[in-house]
């Protein structure tokens, strides 16, 4: 009975890592499409969003089977519960890759995203957070997870800087308010990705602290 349970936990971990890799790839490609104004790549990213959705459903199915069939307790229960929480954040990150790609398509070749330095920095800092949050889960690294949480302040501050840039642009050039609004939406998506990466990191720390307590006992 326990061996079957362990097999299911290994499968859960494998699928979680795969979903993590998928969302990292999706966000990275969404940023590349945004910067290069690559509408075709953006369309492909939106079409591939179903891959992440499928992985979410598969992982949730594994979790539900574990809860119903195995009735886990203590650390095992927390592992399953944390996975269900993390997969929700991962799916939302995948959605934001599609959201950013949709904005890339809407702006087309007229995009001036490269003129907004703080948005470009947000993209870079968000990728660092996302990569490290998934690495923290894979490597079971609480220190790396803690760094992700601290890093969120950098992204939040960049978002505030972006809002100031947008306000100045609209004030000085009212005719460009539509593009300014599009840029602000993109910045908001990056800010939300940072929030979701932080959530993942917090669940990693939760899992590892639980393990430490159990080992001490």
Phi, psi angle pair for 173, to nearest 5°? -140, 75
Instruction: Give the pLDDT confidence of 167-204 residue by residue, as tens digits.
Output: 998 999 888 888 889 999 999 999 999 999 999 999 99
Instruction: Give the pLDDT confidence of 147-165 residue by residue, as tens digits.
Output: 999 999 999 999 999 999 9
75 vs 61, residue with greater confidence: 61
Contact status, residue 27 vs residue 97, Cβ threshold 8 Å? yes
Percent with pLDDT over 90 in the chain: 76
The sign one gets for the Cα dihedral 28, 33, 34, 40 is negative
Residue 217 has pLDDT above 60, yes or no: no
pLDDT value of position 2: 66
pLDDT value of position 71: 80
pTM of the model: 0.91
Going from the C-alpha of 17 to that of each of 109, 201, 208, the distances in angstroms are 35, 14, 17
pLDDT value of position 216: 39
Superfamily of domain 2-216: Phosphate transport system protein phou homolog 2; domain 2 (1.20.58.220)
- Pick the closest to residue 82 from 130, 133, 126 (CA basis): 133
pLDDT band at 4; cut points 50, 70, 90: confident
Domain ranges of the chain: 2-216
- Pick the closest to residue 181 from 127, 107, 121 (CA basis): 107
**DSSP per residue over 191-210, as a string?**
HHHHHHHHHHHHHHHHHHHH
Instruction: Give the pLDDT confidence of 33-43 residue by residue, as tens digits.
Output: 999 999 999 99
- Pick the closest to residue 100 from 182, 17, 206 (CA basis): 182
pLDDT band at 1; cut points 50, 70, 90: low
């Amino acid at each position: 009975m326990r061996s079957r349970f362990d097999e299911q936990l290994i499968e859960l971990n494998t699928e979680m890592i795969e979903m993590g890799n998928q969302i990292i790839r999706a966000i990275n490609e969404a940023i590349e499409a945004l910067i290069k104004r690559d509408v075709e790549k953006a369309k492909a990213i939106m079409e591939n969003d179903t891959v992440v959705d499928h992985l979410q459903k598969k992982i949730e199915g594994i979790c539900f089977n574990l809860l119903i069939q195995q009735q886990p307790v203590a650390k095992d229960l927390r592992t399953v519960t944390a996975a269900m929480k993390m997969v929700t954040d991962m799916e939302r990150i995948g959605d934001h890759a599609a959201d950013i790609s949709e904005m890339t398509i809407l702006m087309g070749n007229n995009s001036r995203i490269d003129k907004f330095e703080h948005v470009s920095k947000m993209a870079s800092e968000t990728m660092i957070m996302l990569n490290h949050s998934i690495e923290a889960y894979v490597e079971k690294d609480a220190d790396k997870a803690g760094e992700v949480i601290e890093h969120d302040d950098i992204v939040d501050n960049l978002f505030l800087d972006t809002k100031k840039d947008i306000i100045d642009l609209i004030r000085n050039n009212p005719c460009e308010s539509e593009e300014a609004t599009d840029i602000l939406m993109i910045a908001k998506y990056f800010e939300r990705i940072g929030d979701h990466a932080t959530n993942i990191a917090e669940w990693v720390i939760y899992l590892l602290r639980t393990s430490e307590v159990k080992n001490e006992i």
